[in-house]
Amino acid sequence: MLRKARIGDVKAIHKMINVSASREEILPRSLMDIYGSLRDFFVFTDDGTGAIVGICAMSIIWENLAEIRSLYVDEGHRFRGIGRTLVEACISEAITLELFRIFTLTFRVDFFRRLGFREVDRSALSEKIWTDCFRCSKYPDYCDEVAMIIEL
């Protein structure tokens, strides 16, 4: 079941991000950062157990730009449409906020391409560079993520 994240979800979200970050799939985030951006997150729960099995956030970067970030689906629940559902919920929220340019930095190029995203040069996302990328240890010479954008 898809829903907005709640305060009681923070530790589970943090754990999932750290699992994915340990595999260098996404950047790590602190508990403080997750508490501060909790309203950005959607979670997907298992219908049987109620456990969170997927997470994704939509972050506002600038007046005309949003980012899909921290997408993670538990390995045992992948290939069931959960990731697509989470990303589509984030896109829908961005549209509601009248944000029609949405990007992601990802290793999952084919997944995002199927959702309508296209590859762009990272320099097209200058607002992003000065928010998170600038603080990343991989910036600027070692970033291996692909910048992708959808314009609605």
Interval 79-90: pLDDT, tens: 999 999 999 999
pLDDT in tens, 92-142: 999 999 999 999 989 899 999 999 999 998 777 765 555 555 555 555 555
CA distances from 108 to 12, 16, 97, 137 (A): 23, 17, 26, 21
pLDDT at 139: 56
Helices (H), 1-152: 10-22, 31-36, 82-96, 109-114, 126-129
pLDDT at 6: 98
Domains with residue ranges and CATH for the chain: 2-151 (3.40.630.30)
Residue 25 has pLDDT above 90, yes or no: no
Who has greater pLDDT, 62 or 45?
45
**Residue 50 in 3-state DSSP?**
coil
Amino acid at 31: L
In contact, 55 and 13? CB cutoff 8 Å: yes
Cross-strand partners of 97 = none
- Average of per-residue pLDDT across 13-25: 92
In contact, 51 and 87? CB cutoff 8 Å: no
Give the least confident one: 30-34, 64-68, 135-139, 147-151. Answer: 135-139
Task: Report pTM.
Answer: 0.90
- Average of per-residue pLDDT across 49-74: 95
